[in-house]
Amino acid sequence: MINLVWLIPLFPFFGFLITGLGFRRFPVRFSGWFASGMVLISFIFSLFIFLKLAGGAPAETLVISDWINTGNLNIPVEFLVDQLTSVMLLIVTGVGFLIHVYSIGYMHGDEGYNRYFAYMNLFVFFMLILVLGGSYTVMFIGWEGVGLCSYLLIGFWNKKHENNNAARKAFIMNRIGDLGFLMGMFLIFNTFGSLSYSIVFSKAALFLPGTTVITVITLLLFAGATGKSAQIPLLTWLPDAMAGPTPVSALIHAATMVTAGVYMVARSNILYALSPVSLSVVIAIGLSTALIAAVIALFQNDIKKVLAYSTISQLGLMFLALGVGSFAGAIFHLMTHAFFKALLFLSAGSIIHALAGEQDIRNMGGLQKKLPLTFFVFLTGALAISGIPPFSGFFSKDLILAAAFIKNPVLWGLGILVSIMTATYIFRIFWLAFKGVYRGADMNFNEIHESKGTMLTSLILLALLSAFSALPLLNHGLENNRLASFLTPVFRNSESIMSNGSQLSGGTNILLMGITFSLIILTIYLSYACFVRREKVPPPDTSLRKGFNKLVYNKFYIDQIYNKVIVDPIYKLSGFLQNSVDIKIFDRIVESVGKLVMFSGNRIRLLQTGNVGFYLFAMVICIILVLFFNLLS
């Protein structure tokens, strides 16, 4: 069964070929269902693989075929099927399938309907390659492929210029990170002589903790992760990426692609475990990203932008978990986050769909009456992300916070701060969208109606997953949850390197949970008081802002700083190079070569007199000369 794993990415690829190559002919009625069906088949296969591994089957490395084979460079196409892979496969295909089904309703009537599903299937294909890859090279194919699909889908409505700009920004920012990833790969090959996980990790286990080369490798790989997962300093592309269709934001920019960085670090756990410096960097970057993004999310008024910053913030939390050594916790949060963030995005999409494209929460309000089901699922997602038991987010978040507390209580405190802000921003948009009175002017309130069946079905399924997915995994004590014990074979080595033996006592754990929980409940109540009782609505864009508020509202001016510090100087340098170096030096050299040829040709062609006698004479003279020089030498 496990050696059939190569079929899993093949189905979405097949779907991409059919809907992509025949996108003008393939009947629009079927393409959505067809594409979803392909992902569903992959999901069923992934489920079999998962059950096989859960039944105790060992991890396997499968060599599919040769790829690059020259001298001592030997890179096959290989897949690694282990516990981590199977969990990721389930998330990618499961959430992917639900989002495909949702898209059938959401994208209905769009002129690029077939194209959309072709891109989505291609994305699922590359994402599966990324998580299945048994070496850094194969992962890199998927890594670049999902970047490409992200670019294509952000700029999906490519008739609007700003969408194309957002797509390019995402692509270029990712390239910067990818450069780090590539250099990390080179260094891995240089150090270990291979890029296969099996060889690299077994050789790495022999290194002493704190070796410099491992630190450099992990830092470079982490640079790749910051690009893909939108961490500081490469975080500005993700909010802009919201230009794409909402299901795309849900699938690529919340549930799967942006978590690739987390997956990659978790996959390389042994390398990170050997480098305390890199782990501290991961903690610092993750935590500061989580804080900054959460603060920005507090003041955004575009519902999708809030969710985008929330995603960045949650990814930061996952990196915090990785940094403190709770790899299983990070994967746990990755999974629950995939469910509840996809749910939040899709229900935001349902609102946007119902309001014909309105995304500003200041123009919403009172939607509970008109969109009762969306209200309900959004509430589920909001409770899950805020961390209210028994919703899934509570357990994964608490796992991370507990691990942070063991490492350092300060990290725990900052984590709590992030959690409180999370609850604040998510309930802010929740109250503003669903309670109060309708503030929009463009639409008649009575015309607003709930979305179609396919959209609601996937919303309900995702809501169930967000709410209850963590419960079956619980097993006396959060640390020993079933997911963690399932993933033990993957993380065993690094956890034995990192663990300092300390574990939270049951009492402390419950105390910490209690503190978090009560603070979050208080936050939700305060936001209720603010936005529902007192009906506070964020001021319009034009209103005067001062001090910290202004700073945060403008997203800490990160984009502007990048423009000033990096983009503008590059433009200026390019302008200088074009005007002086290129035009004045290189163009002249190239042109003078051409002129020389023209000039000498003009002179030399006069030799061609047309007189046969002269030609014969020249020929004889030349032969004599050749013979003469031959004799001489």
**Per rule CB under 8 A, is residue 611 in the interface with another protein?**
yes
Peptide bond into 390 cis (omega under 30): yes
Closest approach of another protein to the CB of residue 23, in Å: 57
* H or E element that contains 79: strand 73-81
Measured from the CB atom, the residue of 56 and 610 that comes closer to another protein is: 610
DSSP 302: B
Q: Using an 8 Å Cβ cutoff, are 323 and 286 in contact?
A: yes
Looking from the CA of 333 toward its CB, the CA atoms found within 13 Å total: 29
Strand runs (DSSP E) across 170-230, as ranges?
A: none
Closest approach of another protein to the CB of residue 613, in Å: 6
- Which stretch in 69-77, 190-198, 479-487, 603-611 sits in contact with another protein by CB under 8 A? 603-611
Measured from the CB atom, the residue of 586 and 617 that comes closer to another protein is: 617
The angle that helices 260-267 and 212-228 make with each other, rounded to 10 degrees, is 160
Among 70, 505, 608, 630, interactor with another protein by CB under 8 A: 608
Closest approach of another protein to the CB of residue 616, in Å: 6
Closest approach of another protein to the CB of residue 606, in Å: 6
- Which stretch in 175-183, 256-264, 302-310, 611-619 sits in contact with another protein by CB under 8 A? 611-619
| Residue with the two structure tokens 């410099």 | 212
Closest approach of another protein to the CB of residue 632, in Å: 20
Question: How many other C-beta atoms lie within 10 A of the C-beta of residue 196?
Answer: 22
Closest approach of another protein to the CB of residue 596, in Å: 19
Closest approach of another protein to the CB of residue 570, in Å: 51
Distance, CA of 337 to CA of 128 (rounded, Å): 18
Among 72, 610, 628, 632, interactor with another protein by CB under 8 A: 610
Closest approach of another protein to the CB of residue 617, in Å: 6
Listed in sequence order, the residues at least 6 apart from 488 whose beta carbon sits closer than 8 Å to its beta carbon are 83, 328
Q: Using an 8 Å Cβ cutoff, are 5 and 79 in contact?
A: yes
Measured from the CB atom, the residue of 441 and 607 that comes closer to another protein is: 607
Q: Using an 8 Å Cβ cutoff, are 144 and 125 in contact?
A: no
Measured from the CB atom, the residue of 186 and 617 that comes closer to another protein is: 617
Rounded alpha-carbon distances, angstroms, from residue 219 to 172, 187, 490, 589, 613: 20, 11, 21, 43, 78
Burial state string for 539-576 with b = 16 or more CB within 10 A and e = fewer than 16: eeeeeeeeeeeeebbebeebeeebeeeeeeeeeeeeee
Among 510, 581, 616, 622, interactor with another protein by CB under 8 A: 616
Measured from the CB atom, the residue of 570 and 624 that comes closer to another protein is: 624
Among 539, 577, 609, 626, interactor with another protein by CB under 8 A: 609
Among 208, 589, 612, 631, interactor with another protein by CB under 8 A: 612
Measured from the CB atom, the residue of 54 and 616 that comes closer to another protein is: 616
Among 24, 613, 629, 632, interactor with another protein by CB under 8 A: 613
Among 65, 544, 605, 631, interactor with another protein by CB under 8 A: 605
**Per rule CB under 8 A, is residue 540 in the interface with another protein?**
no
DSSP string, 99-150: HHHHHHHHTTT-TTHHHHHHHHHHHHHHHHHHHHBSBHHHHHHHHHHHHHHH
Measured from the CB atom, the residue of 437 and 604 that comes closer to another protein is: 604
Measured from the CB atom, the residue of 27 and 613 that comes closer to another protein is: 613
The angle that helices 303-323 and 260-267 make with each other, rounded to 10 degrees, is 10
288's tokens: 């500061």
Measured from the CB atom, the residue of 109 and 613 that comes closer to another protein is: 613
**Per rule CB under 8 A, is residue 620 in the interface with another protein?**
yes
**Per rule CB under 8 A, is residue 534 in the interface with another protein?**
no
Measured from the CB atom, the residue of 449 and 603 that comes closer to another protein is: 603
| Angle, CA 426 vertex, CA 307 and CA 387 arms, to 5° | 110
Closest approach of another protein to the CB of residue 626, in Å: 15
Distance, CA of 203 to CA of 208 (rounded, Å): 11
Closest approach of another protein to the CB of residue 593, in Å: 23
- Which stretch in 398-406, 422-430, 573-581, 602-610 sits in contact with another protein by CB under 8 A? 602-610
Distance, CA of 208 to CA of 540 (rounded, Å): 57
**Per rule CB under 8 A, is residue 600 in the interface with another protein?**
no
**Residues near another protein (CB under 8 A), total:** 11
Q: Using an 8 Å Cβ cutoff, are 236 and 167 in contact?
A: no
- Which stretch in 112-120, 274-282, 526-534, 604-612 sits in contact with another protein by CB under 8 A? 604-612
Closest approach of another protein to the CB of residue 629, in Å: 19
Listed in sequence order, the residues at least 6 apart from 78 whose beta carbon sits closer than 8 Å to its beta carbon are 61, 62, 63, 64, 133, 134, 135, 138, 196
Among 584, 617, 625, 627, interactor with another protein by CB under 8 A: 617
| Residue with the two structure tokens 């480098």 | 275
- Quick one: which of 335, 329, 336, 494 has its CA closest to 406? 329
Measured from the CB atom, the residue of 437 and 598 that comes closer to another protein is: 598
Binding site for another protein (CB under 8 A): 605-606, 608-613, 616-617, 620
